[in-house]
Amino acid sequence: MSATARALPNIRPQAAEQEDPREHLMLDPKPRGEMNGMVLESMRSTGWRYWLVTLVLGFLVLTCFFYAWYYLIANGLGVAGVNRPAYWAVFLVNTVFWIGISHAGTFISAILRVMKIEGRRPFTRAAELMTTFGLVQAVSSVFMHLGRVWLAYWLIPYPNERGLWPDFHSPLMWDFLAINTYLLCSTMYLFLPLIPDLAMVRDHKTGWQKVAYRILSLGFRGTEGEWKNLHTAMNIFAFAIIPVMFSVHTIVSWDFAMAMRPGWSSSVFGPYFVIGALHSGMAAVAIVLFLVRSTMKNMKYFIRPEHFNLLGKLMLMVSMAWAYFYFNDYLVPWYGGDKWEQILRLFIEKGPIWWLWYVLLICNIVVPWLILWNRKWRSTPWLLALTGVVINIGMWIERYVIIPETLTINRMPFTWRIYIPRVEIFLTIGTVSLFLLLYMMASRLIPLIPVWEVQEGQEAHMLRKVGKAEIPAVSEIG
């Protein structure tokens, strides 16, 4: 052994350290026609597993979503565990949870587009779809909680029979405006980059399917003017939807924080809720990407470990930020020593369902921090998806602690009563099933991979020789 090698005992051969550039999607291009074919095949070819899962989900949606809702309507809110003082129950837990899930979809797509993070390209649409389908569940949960859902139009801000307009001072009114703005804008934001891919599908279909995709693609050809207009509109959306996203969950948090209740009245609730939404939403993106990659044909080419690595890093950062805000929200009331805050804290930490609090801390902090620091682990699709499942369980429990548990303890002890969910359990399963079913149906109807964005990225990437090494480089074409 030479003296140099002895002095550097941990040195490894250079060749072993160099990774194959073709591991990166952007440096492993395929002809556009071939990529189109792969995406179209993934929409067309489904195995028995797909239909089995669809059947199970369909059954769950019919029983746990539609039948359970019908049962609730037919018998009234009495069949739910809703009581005084836990009025909002699991219905609002689900609403906040699904709004949170919906956040990351658009946020990931928009922020990565604004920052020009190249790794975003293959999975932006899969993430954006979550927003629309997540918001459907959030809105359904509000309607379920109404009980008399046929009077839902009372929520719309229009003058009543006495000619009085709704009170725009109310946080619930801000909610109506913010959630609807977000739903509408997210759906438009989903549709914009979809237009060229719908045109691509149109060019490859025949018969009635061609007619359907012709209508949906609006007559898009890909002229210079059309691309310029599309690019400008997408840029406007990417920049504008980020503050809207922040506003939506901040306003959702104000539904709680504006009430002078122990556990809720906190100035940190806005950013804490936003981070919480991103925490659960990003975890959900990991789950969805894993499912898409493992159940759909050809997806292993488009969605690679590098994308899970990127997502894992984001999840770790968000988990740390969430822990920071949680600690902030915990420390200040604890230090303040308000009597009701102390009683509430004792109830959460040592009450009859004390274990929920520990589970939420383990799921949201311990598990992600243990797993996501390691590049190899976070790049492993199933492990990242599993971490995503754990985080989402933790975040659902966090909302449960914030809503029904906190509602239980108020300043009137004679009203305290433990909340036990009943039909809400089925409705929760129903919303999860409907979300997944809608996603599976969408995977057959629209290309989940934005092929034109992938090709655009591949055109911009190259390997540049620096000394002895070949370094991936990207040029800004657009």
Q: Which residue has the tokens 């899962």?
A: 53
Please tell me whether residue 229 binds other proteins under the rule CB under 8 A. yes
Helix or strand holding residue 305 (H, E): helix 305-336
Residues 130, 281 contacting (CB under 8 angstroms): yes
328's tokens: 């902030």
CA 90 to centroid of chain Cα atoms: 19
Q: Are strands 469-474 and 461-466 parallel, antiparallel or unpaired?
A: antiparallel
Complex with other proteins: residue 221 or 464, whichever CB lies closer:
221
Please tell me whether residue 221 binds other proteins under the rule CB under 8 A. yes
Please tell me whether residue 32 binds other proteins under the rule CB under 8 A. yes
Please tell me whether residue 161 binds other proteins under the rule CB under 8 A. no
**Mind giving me the DSSP string for 10-43?**
T---HHHHPPPGGGSGGGS---HHHHHHHHHHHH
Cβ 452 to other proteins shortest distance, Å? 5
Please tell me whether residue 19 binds other proteins under the rule CB under 8 A. no
Cβ 296 to other proteins shortest distance, Å? 21
Complex with other proteins: residue 132 or 309, whichever CB lies closer:
132
Cβ 313 to other proteins shortest distance, Å? 28
Please tell me whether residue 196 binds other proteins under the rule CB under 8 A. yes
Phi and psi angles of residue 132, each rounded to the nearest 5 degrees, phi first: -65, -45
Complex with other proteins: residue 73 or 173, whichever CB lies closer:
173
Complex with other proteins: residue 30 or 313, whichever CB lies closer:
30
Amino acid symbol at 239: F
Residues 456, 478 contacting (CB under 8 angstroms): yes
Binding piece for other proteins, criterion CB under 8 A, among 46-54, 71-79, 169-177, 431-439: 169-177
Complex with other proteins: residue 349 or 456, whichever CB lies closer:
456
What is the rounded distance in angstroms from the CA atom of residue 471 to the CA atom of residue 478?
21
Binding piece for other proteins, criterion CB under 8 A, among 222-230, 302-310, 418-426, 427-435: 222-230
Residues 119, 126 contacting (CB under 8 angstroms): no
Nearest partner of 450 among 225, 209, 198, 206, judged by Cα:
198
CA 258 to centroid of chain Cα atoms: 26
Contact positions vs other proteins (CB under 8 A):
31-33, 36, 157, 159, 163-165, 167-169, 173-174, 177-178, 181, 184-185, 188-189, 192, 196, 199-200, 202-204, 214-215, 217-233, 236-237, 240-241, 243-244, 247, 251, 452, 455-456, 459, 477-478
